[in-house]
Amino acid sequence: MAPWFTRSRNIAHHVKRNMGSFLRPAPTLGDSSWSRSPACLGNSPALLWAGRLESTRAQKLVDSDSENDAHLRDDDQAIDFPGGRVMLTSEMQFIPGYPQQRVHCYRLMNNNGQTNMCSSFEQVSKEVAVKMYSDMITLQIMDTIFYEAQRQGRISFYLTSTGEEAINIASAAALSPDDIVMAQYREPGVLLWRGFTLQEFANQCFGSKADYGKGRQMPIHYGSKKYNYFTVSSPLGTQLPQAVGAAYSLKMDNKDACVVAYFGDGSTSEGDFHASLNFAAVMEAPVIFLCRNNGWAISTPTSEQFRSDGIVVKGPAYGIQSIRVDGNDALAVHNVVRAARQMAIHEQRPILVEALTYRVGHHSTSDDSTKYRPVDEVKHWEMGQNPVNRFRKWVERNGWWSEEDESQLRSSIRKQLLQAIQVAEKMEKPPLADLFSDVYDVPPSILFEQEQQLRETIKRHPQDYPSDVPV
């Protein structure tokens, strides 16, 4: 932080170094001084005595020499620059920008839901596993139905998390309700896990009166103070420095909680990403930076987004411990987030988790991904590497899930959702007063005037205004 800290450390270093050269034992040359005494003199005591003196004289010479040499050699080996001691080398070697071997990806469960016998991990209980799986199914169905609703023109916009259900649910399952979530936009599963109902999701998407956001944000911009899920903001990456701020607040209060900031591969190009990692490291803030590397940022593949080995290598660049995990493996994600959370809170440090996955759906309802990527690529991930199916196999293998459970759950969720949509659609929109409230804590006179003007206009031209908006 303040420059004088580094200076004092340098002073200590300097003193230690000089002391060291005085206290350092003489190099081995001195030890072999006996061998230097002329052999022709034999072993008479007088000669031995003379030899000993010589050797000690020689020793002294060697000592004084080595003193100077040590000094020289020390400076030749390392220097205390601001920022710390660095070892010197005369070999010019550039660190490769891309590693010969990419950082390994942590995975526990294969595609058939089988776990490696040698890998040790804390087992997930039946209760948690069943809830995880049910929520993954719920998320899937929610995505499908809301997407259709948008296509039917009932809502204006939607964004699916297809293919990323494991990241959503498994990471949420590893957190505590006190942990603050700063999402980007493809993480409704976290809110779902915490207890947000299908009705509440629908209310936000339809912007109805019961929406906690009072109809002010576009669909999928959920927010819930109750569940510590901060309201989604559209610009990419803005939640990252805010996450650091929230973590700083937790740190000040010494809370047993951390912040989890979700973002995609595209967001890592934003300046805020870099500054946030840096800040979090410097401030030792308890944040988990969870990157959903799903390969695509609308139409930009990761090969055009960055040239590094993914995002995991960026962590160490800022001094942050990082790990790469198979984002389609619910067990692995769960395990990693749980461990990361422990580290973040107990060691008060940020952690970077890169979850590799694939964005099966389009970026949003305003996108048609067939325009920029081959359909069979999408099919491969949708069918072959499906995180929901994989987890299902594992849960079934444990005897915790059956075919009937599946069909029962699916039809029940579907019914609930359609019901929720109906209710939300028919519900009144937020009243006119909500256009002007919450801009400030108390509306200033100018907003009050503007509201009066608007009301007058509506009164004068009622036919131009929607009838389902209460005035």
Partner 1 sequence: MAAIFQGIGAAAALPSTEKFHSQSRRFVSARKGSLFVVRSDGRPSLGSSPRSRGAQHLITNAVAAKADASATSTASKPGHELLLFEALREGLEEEMDRDPRVCVMGEDVGHYGGSYKVTKGLATKYGDLRVLDTPIAENSFTGMGIGAAMTGLRPIIEGMNMGFLLLAFNQISNNCGMLHYTSGGQFKIPVVIRGPGGVGRQLGAEHSQRLESYFQSIPGIQMVACSTPYNAKGLMKAAIRSENPVILFEHVLLYNLKERIPDEEYVLSLEEAEMVRPGEHVTILTYSRMRYHVMQAAKTLVNKGYDPEVIDIRSLKPFDLYTIGNSVKKTHRVLIVEECMRTGGIGASLTAAITENFIDYLDAPIVCLSSQDVPTPYAGTLEEWTVVQPAQIVTAVEQLCQ
Q: Give catalytic residue positions.
A: 148, 234, 363-364
Q: How far is the CB of 228 from partner 1 (least distance, A)?
A: 9
Asked whether position 315 contacts partner 1 by CB under 8 A, the answer is no
Instruction: List the end-to-end C-alpha distance of the chain, in Å, as a whole number.
Output: 55
How many CB atoms are located within 10 Å of the residue 49 CB? Answer: 10
Residue 15 has phi, psi (to 5 degrees) of: -65, -45
Asked whether position 245 contacts partner 1 by CB under 8 A, the answer is yes
Q: How far is the CB of 215 from partner 1 (least distance, A)?
A: 8
Number of chain positions touching partner 1 (CB under 8 A): 53
Residue 454, classed as helix, strand or coil, is helix
Residue closer to partner 1 by CB (options 66, 224) is: 224
Burial (Cβ within 10 Å: 0-12, 13-18, ≥19) of residue 271: exposed
Q: How far is the CB of 317 from partner 1 (least distance, A)?
A: 14
Q: How far is the CB of 322 from partner 1 (least distance, A)?
A: 19
Q: Which of 132, 149, 183, 283 binds partner 1 (CB under 8 A)?
A: 283
**CA angle, corner 347, sides to 341 and 352, nearest 5?**
50
Asked whether position 325 contacts partner 1 by CB under 8 A, the answer is no
Asked whether position 225 contacts partner 1 by CB under 8 A, the answer is yes
Q: Which of 235, 384, 399, 466 binds partner 1 (CB under 8 A)?
A: 235
Cα gap 178→190, rounded to integer Å: 13
Sequence-distant (≥ 6) Cβ neighbours of residue 430 within 8 angstroms: 207, 208, 209, 211, 214, 215, 469
* Residue from 318, 317, 328, 261 nearest 290 by CA: 261
Residue closer to partner 1 by CB (options 106, 248) is: 248
Asked whether position 441 contacts partner 1 by CB under 8 A, the answer is yes
Asked whether position 276 contacts partner 1 by CB under 8 A, the answer is yes
Applying the rule CB under 8 A, the residues between 130 and 189 that interact with partner 1 are 180, 182
Residue 254 has phi, psi (to 5 degrees) of: 55, 40
For residues 294 and 163, is the Cβ–Cβ distance under 8 A?
A: yes
Asked whether position 208 contacts partner 1 by CB under 8 A, the answer is no
- Does an H or E element contain 414, and which? helix 403-426
- Which residues face 321 on adjacent strands? 351
Residue closer to partner 1 by CB (options 2, 117) is: 2
Percent helix, percent strand, percent coil in the chain, to nearest 5? 50, 10, 40
Asked whether position 389 contacts partner 1 by CB under 8 A, the answer is no
Q: Which of 25, 404, 446, 463 binds partner 1 (CB under 8 A)?
A: 446
Residue closer to partner 1 by CB (options 274, 393) is: 274
Burial (Cβ within 10 Å: 0-12, 13-18, ≥19) of residue 367: middle
Q: How far is the CB of 346 from partner 1 (least distance, A)?
A: 18
Q: Which of 199, 238, 348, 398 binds partner 1 (CB under 8 A)?
A: 238
Residue 10 has phi, psi (to 5 degrees) of: -65, -40
Q: Which of 194, 221, 362, 390 binds partner 1 (CB under 8 A)?
A: 221
Q: Which of 99, 271, 301, 470 binds partner 1 (CB under 8 A)?
A: 271
How many residues belong to the chain? 471
Cα gap 260→353, rounded to integer Å: 10
Where does this chain bind partner 1 (CB under 8 A)?
1-2, 4, 180, 182, 211-214, 216-217, 221, 223-225, 230-231, 233-235, 238-253, 271-272, 274-276, 278-279, 282-283, 437-441, 444-446
